[in-house]
């Protein structure tokens, strides 16, 4: 692989058709990241999996119907229309089974996924026996074939993906309410069922337009992996949606570029591998919930707790542990076995902080700030000043 070709493809300078396909796939990744964020928080990720598998019988039936009517069976709009129909039918089947039976939703998802996919495989086997079956090319919808996409199809995918993103932006408040507290929303009179169906409709749209790019088996990865990776970066929904869109777009952009450079690579698998690499990087290095950042924060908390315990203990006459002595000396708090002037001030501050936190926990046990590391964080930085003054004014024997 020539590095110059790689750079030219990634920068959309490898030809107009290649640039349009890469840009269209990136738009699909952006839309999948946005819609997938709401599906992930709604705990409906597996519904997307069932939906993608449910599109297979629709594709096969659309081909058979078009061939029987004398039309072009391999026409992409015809096949996607069939996929959209059977995908919507699969979603409605899951909703009906969950609502009108006592079966849990995961059982409904498993039943719809397996039955629809089984029907699709049987229909594909039948199509292969037809005179036009070998030329149908329907199997490209299983693993995706980005390189086979023409300019018009790529432009249509990009337009529909951006329309899905725009609809999500307009319904952001409704989707956020649906994801975090649907019972409260229903109690306030919000049409939660219609909002849920709208979200499922947008998921169906993204799934269908991604069939040719990622394939019906792997399109689910674009809907789940970028939002799951974005979850490591932030606790805020708006930021998570933006990060998921960026990761999804990058997965589509890089994956489609690699597929264009190496024609025999399955496009869907390459895009998913890129998304998986971004997920692993987020899992390890994301600043909010990544493994490295979490380990760093926990290590700092343990050290701060050990520092305060050692200083308070030394103030009470207890010698610090052998493991803490070098650290306290390095901080300039201990000389020999005695506290320095700085160490004495730090020990008095640690003892005051511990005493005030104890009083606060005993007097206001239900008001502990959720993000505070009580007993370690300086209480003056966490609680209002008047509350700290109240705690300071409480005699130790009446603090309860």
Q: Looking at residue 147, what is its pLDDT?
A: 65
Bigger pLDDT: 14 vs 22: 22
Q: How far is CA 207 from CA 121, 159, 291, in A?
A: 19, 14, 31
Using a 10 angstrom Cβ sphere, with 0-12 exposed, 13-18 middle and 19 or more buried, the burial of residue 214 is buried
Q: How many Å is the maximal CA-CA distance in the chain?
A: 96
* pLDDT > 70 fraction of the chain, expressed in percent and rounded: 92
Question: Using 50, 70 and 90 to split pLDDT, how confident is the model at 165?
Answer: very high
pLDDT for 252 equals: 87
pLDDT of residue 168: 93
Please write the tens of the pLDDT for every residue from 124-150: 888 878 776 555 566 667 766 666 677
DSSP 235: S
Q: Which residue from 374, 9, 349, 25 is spatially nearest to 213, judged by alpha carbons?
A: 25
The answer to whether residues 216 and 53 touch, using CB atoms and an 8 Å cutoff, is: yes
Structure tokens at 342: 């700085």
DSSP 338: E
Q: State the Cα–Cα distance between residues 221 and 229, nearest whole angstrom.
A: 11
Q: What is the pTM of this model?
A: 0.80
Average predicted confidence (pLDDT) for the chain: 84
**Would you mind telling me the total number of residues written for the chain in this entry?**
400
pLDDT for the residue 1: 64
| CA distance to 326, 341, 360, 362, per residue, from 309 (Å) | 15, 18, 19, 20
Is residue 305 predicted with pLDDT exceeding 90? no
Query: Looking at residue 229, what is its pLDDT?
Result: 94
Q: Which residue has the higher pLDDT, 212 or 199?
A: 199
Q: Which of 9-23, 65-79, 209-223 has the lowest mean pLDDT?
A: 9-23
35-62 mean pLDDT: 86
Q: Is the pLDDT assigned to residue 33 strictly greater than 90?
A: yes
pLDDT at 63: 86
């Amino acid at each position: 692989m020539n590095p110059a070709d790689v750079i030219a493809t990634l920068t959309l300078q490898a030809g107009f058709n290649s640039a349009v396909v890469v840009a269209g796939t990136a738009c699909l990744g952006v839309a999948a990241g946005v819609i997938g964020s709401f599906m992930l928080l709604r705990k409906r990720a597996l519904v997307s999996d069932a939906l993608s598998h449910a599109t297979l019988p629709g594709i096969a039936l659309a081909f058979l119907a078009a061939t029987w009517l004398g039309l072009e069976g391999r026409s992409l709009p015809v096949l996607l229309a069939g996929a959209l129909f059977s995908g919507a039918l699969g979603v409605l089947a899951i909703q009906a089974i969950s609502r009108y039976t006592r079966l849990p939703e995961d059982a409904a998802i498993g039943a719809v996924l397996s039955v629809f996919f089984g029907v699709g495989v049987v229909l594909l086997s039948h199509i292969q026996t037809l005179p036009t079956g070998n030329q149908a090319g329907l199997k490209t919808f299983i693993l995706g074939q980005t390189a086979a996409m023409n300019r018009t199809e790529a432009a249509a995918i990009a337009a529909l993906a951006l329309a899905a993103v725009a609809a999500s932006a307009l319904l952001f408040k409704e989707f956020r309410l649906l994801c975090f507290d649907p019972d409260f929303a229903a109690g306030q009179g919000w049409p939660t069922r219609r909002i849920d169906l709208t979200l499922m409709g947008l998921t169906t749209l993204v799934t269908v337009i991604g069939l040719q790019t990622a394939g019906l088996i792997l399109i689910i990865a674009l809907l789940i992996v970028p939002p799951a990776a974005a979850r490591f970066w932030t606790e805020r929904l708006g930021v998570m949606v933006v990060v998921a869109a960026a990761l999804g777009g990058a997965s589509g952009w890089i994956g489609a570029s690699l597929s264009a450079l190496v024609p025999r690579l399955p496009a869907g698998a390459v895009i998913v591998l890129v998304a998986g690499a971004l997920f692993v990087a987020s899992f390890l290095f994301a600043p909010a919930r990544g493994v490295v950042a979490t380990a760093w924060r926990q290590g700092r908390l343990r050290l701060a707790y050990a520092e305060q315990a050692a200083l308070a203990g030394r103030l009470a006459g207890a010698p610090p542990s052998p493991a803490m002595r070098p650290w306290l000396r390095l901080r300039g708090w201990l000389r020999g076995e005695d506290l320095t002037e700085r160490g004495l001030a730090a020990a008095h501050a640690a003892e005051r902080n511990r005493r005030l936190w104890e009083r606060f926990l005993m007097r206001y046990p239900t008001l502990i700030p959720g993000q505070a590391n009580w007993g370690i964080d300086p209480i003056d930085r966490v609680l209002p000043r008047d509350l700290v003054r109240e705690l300071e004014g409480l005699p130790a024997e009446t603090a309860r």
